Homo-oligomer: A and B are copies of this chain.
Amino acid sequence: MNKQELTNILEEVKKGTVSIDYALKTLEELPFKDLGFAVIDNHREMRVGYPEVIYCEGKTLEQVTEIIRYMLSKNNNILATRATRQMYEAVKELQPNMQYNELARTITYRIKDIEQTDDYIAIVSAGTSDLSVVEEAKETAEILGNKVKVITDVGVAGIHRLFNRLDDIRGANVVIVVAGMEGALSSVVGGLVSAPVIAVPTSVGYGANFNGLSALLTMLNSCASGVSVVNIDNGFGAAYNASIINHMIIGKK
């Protein structure tokens, strides 16, 4: 609610065309409307067509099903992350066109058309074992309305593979780098592109990897300057970030 709308209500109260009770009810909601939370959300939704997102880990089968049932009733696109196959089986009962990506552990459903950006996000990953996170990022970026190019298995131990795909990486508006083990890929890519790089450490590895701590620290300490980092295995978060940036850029080329 902007200043003009507020003035209008007050004038209508003065004129008597609006009752005090009605104005009261409207103004009581003012704090929240004035903070504009819903406005943001609606605006963002309209612009990028992004669905509500359900983080399924730690939720029961029943909770996930109820949330999705409600969202379907509101005609929302759906993205559920960290979903088990069992959850998928349950929600497919609600809507048979639900999609499940086993590797990404995502449930998606497109009830509304999603307008895609002209430019794309590149998702670059070090090894085959990181594919689960890559897929989560890809599913997220696509349902948020982004074109995506996936470039896998270009870890720094064989750096020529990376150079081979450099054109594709440099062509992106935003680059997501997914890497486990020592996570060095983010520094190398960060030094090769001018676009912002969002690094996702993965828990792929063993021993002194400490469930992704190794790659996380590497990425935070990256000697390349254009790199920022999200949580371990957080493919969703990286794609969400990348999508915000990608949608802000109009006609880069």
Contacts and interface: CB of A to CB of B under 8 A. Distances in A.
B191 A182 contact: no
Contact of A6 (B27, B157, B201, B244): B27
A207 B212 contact: yes
Given A37-B159, A37-B160, A181 B127 contact: no
Interface string A206-237: 11111111111111111111111111111011
A171 interface: no
Interface string A121-143: 00000111111100000000000
A5 B13 CA distance: 16
A221 B181 contact: yes
Number of contact residues on A: which range applies? Answer: 35 or more
Given A53-B225, A187-B184, A230-B228, A59 B194 contact: no
A173 B160 CA distance: 23
Contact of A214 (B132, B212, B220): B220
Contacts of A244: 194-196, 226
A251 B216 CA distance: 35
A245 B36 CA distance: 24
B44 A35 contact: no
A161 to B, nearest CB: 8
A252 interface: yes
A160 B32 contact: yes
A20 B37 contact: no
Contacts of A248: 173, 195-196, 245, 248-249, 252
A23 B192 CA distance: 26
A191 B157 contact: yes
A179 to B, nearest CB: 9
Interface string A141-153: 0000000000000
Contacts of A240: 225-226
Interface of A: 3, 6-7, 10-11, 13-14, 16, 20, 23-24, 27-28, 30-32, 34-38, 40-41, 43-44, 53, 55, 57-60, 63, 67, 82, 103, 126-132, 155-160, 163-164, 166, 170, 173, 180-184, 187-188, 190-196, 198, 201, 203-234, 236-238, 240-241, 244-245, 248-252
